[in-house]
């Protein structure tokens, strides 16, 4: 792993409880508060345990400028660890940083079984010459992985497009700690009136939630302009915006100038994030650029909140079923987003029905399911290797 995250640690803790395998996690970088807060516009550390419950080590990072970018994770010793054959198989979480490539090359060189868990998909529309070059390059090395821990439907399509064998796919879907989110949201709902008052939301308003970085990719202004359309039609709605980033100031200034029913809650850490889900009726994720997954959708649905997402959000085919768990609209089409929001505005019974469907659907995207699939994938390569050695 490049660095500890609040999404992966529950998976490692769960894997550590399994008797069939023994795991150790190697981290390439431990960000400080400032490095962790890049794009959030606020320095912070995650306030939930990230390193408890499993064996781990931090590799020596020799990068000139350590950070969460390709050259910011440079850990040559990973090659020696692979070559030592202390481990029967390696799980590598993508190929975004140099350290991951160092591990991949070492596994290939020493013929050590390797499982890949990335979340790439084909939603990015590249120019023809770029797509052709990628097809030639990726088509050469993607089929070389032993197993693929696939995070979703679009991720599987990506691997198949570049020549991977579907019989080597093991679904280890993107997940959050569903139980923790559901429990925290249930606790927060006991104080829903106080939370609404805190965020200046009327008791009768339908609350739409934007939760994420205020960056161009997420298109927070699209959510604001959609609310503007609804208020122009005299809908009793409110937009609660959670997060921070470069675009927050311009979003606040626009909302204030137009006197829109929008509240900016700022960055909320993991111990606080269930509160907005407890108040929200519907999540809105209007990303205009390819979003690899959108884990806020998992978070919302685990709290019984349906989601409206753009068709550039990676989880859409798996989690957001229009007319059942939410709605999908064309990215960048504010009118379509406003229409989707209007379907829920004032319709409490529909919000409740789709929220219940969402919570039931996302239950299958859990740490337990990912753990079971991961163990099966690991055993499939180690048992096959043992058979070859015995022969």
Tell me which CATH code domain 9-175+366-384 carries. 3.40.50
Q: What is the mean pLDDT of residues 195-220?
A: 96
Sorting pLDDT into bands at 50, 70 and 90, what band is 390?
very low
Q: pLDDT value at position 389? A: 39
Q: pLDDT > 70: what percent of the chain?
A: 96
178-362 has the same fold as 9-175+366-384: yes
Per-residue pLDDT for 384 more than 70?
A: no
Q: pLDDT value at position 388? A: 42
pLDDT digits (tens, 9 = 90+) for 59-91: 999 999 999 999 999 999 999 999 999 999 999
Per-residue pLDDT for 195 more than 70?
A: yes
Q: pLDDT value at position 57? A: 97
Collect all residues with Cβ–Cβ distance below 8 Å to 149 and sequence separation of at least 6: 91, 115, 116, 117, 170, 171, 172, 370, 373, 374, 377
Sorting pLDDT into bands at 50, 70 and 90, what band is 391?
very low
Q: Is 186 helix (H, G, I), strand (E, B) or coil?
A: helix
Sorting pLDDT into bands at 50, 70 and 90, what band is 132?
confident
Collect all residues with Cβ–Cβ distance below 8 Å to 337 and sequence separation of at least 6: 222, 223, 226, 284, 286, 308, 310, 329
CATH fit for domain 178-362, picks 3.40.50.2000, 3.10.129.10, 3.40.47.10, 2.40.50.140: 3.40.50.2000
Distances (CA, A) of 363 to 183, 302, 313, 366: 14, 7, 20, 6
Q: pLDDT value at position 385? A: 62
Lowest mean pLDDT among 20-24, 131-135, 141-145, 228-232: 131-135
Under 8 Å between Cβ of 336 and 329: yes
Sorting pLDDT into bands at 50, 70 and 90, what band is 148?
very high
Under 8 Å between Cβ of 373 and 149: yes
What's the pTM? Answer: 0.94
| Ranges of each domain in the chain | 9-175+366-384, 178-362
Mean pLDDT over the full length of the chain: 94
Q: What is the mean pLDDT of residues 112-133?
A: 83
Collect all residues with Cβ–Cβ distance below 8 Å to 211 and sequence separation of at least 6: 241, 242, 243, 273, 276, 283, 296, 299, 300
């Amino acid at each position: 792993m490049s660095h500890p995250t609040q999404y992966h640690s529950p998976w490692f803790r769960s894997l550590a409880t399994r008797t069939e395998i023994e795991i150790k996690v190697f981290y390439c970088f431990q960000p400080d508060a400032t490095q962790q807060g890049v794009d959030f516009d606020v320095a912070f550390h995650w306030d939930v345990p990230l390193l408890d419950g499993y064996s781990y080590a931090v590799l020596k990072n020799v990068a000139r400028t350590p950070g969460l970018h390709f050259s910011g994770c440079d850990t040559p010793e990973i090659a020696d660890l692979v070559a030592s054959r202390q481990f029967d198989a390696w799980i590598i979480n993508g190929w975004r940083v140099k350290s991951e490539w160092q591990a991949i090359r070492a596994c290939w060189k020493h013929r050590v079984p390797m499982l890949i868990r990335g979340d790439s998909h084909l939603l990015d529309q590249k120019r023809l010459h770029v797509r052709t070059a990628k097809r030639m390059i990726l088509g050469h090395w993607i089929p070389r992985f032993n197993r693929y821990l696939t995070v979703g439907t679009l991720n599987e399509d990506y691997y198949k497009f570049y020549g991977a064998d579907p019989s080597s796919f093991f679904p280890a879907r993107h997940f959050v700690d569903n139980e923790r989110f559901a429990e925290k949201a249930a606790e927060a709902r006991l104080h829903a009136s106080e939370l609404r008052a805190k965020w200046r939301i009327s008791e009768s308003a339908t609350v739409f939630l934007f939760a994420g970085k205020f960056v161009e990719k997420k298109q927070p202004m699209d959510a604001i302009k959609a609310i503007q359309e609804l208020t122009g039609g005299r809908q009793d709605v409110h937009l609660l915006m959670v997060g921070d980033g470069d675009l927050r100031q311009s979003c606040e200034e626009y909302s204030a100038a137009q006197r829109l029913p929008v509240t900016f809650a700022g960055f909320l850490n993991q111990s606080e994030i269930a509160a907005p889900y407890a108040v929200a009726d519907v999540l809105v994720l209007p990303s205009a650029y390819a979003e690899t997954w959108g884990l806020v959708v998992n978070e919302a649905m685990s709290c019984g909140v349906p989601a409206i997402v753009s068709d550039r959000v990676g989880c859409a085919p798996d989690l957001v079923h229009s007319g059942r768990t939410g709605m999908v609209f064309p990215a960048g089409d504010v009118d379509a987003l406003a229409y989707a929001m209007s379907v829920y505005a004032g319709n409490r019974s529909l919000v409740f029905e789709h929220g219940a469907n969402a919570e039931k659907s996302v239950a299958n995207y859990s740490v337990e399911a990912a753990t079971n699939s991961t163990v099966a994938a690991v055993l499939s390569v180690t048992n096959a290797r043992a058979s070859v050695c015995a022969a």
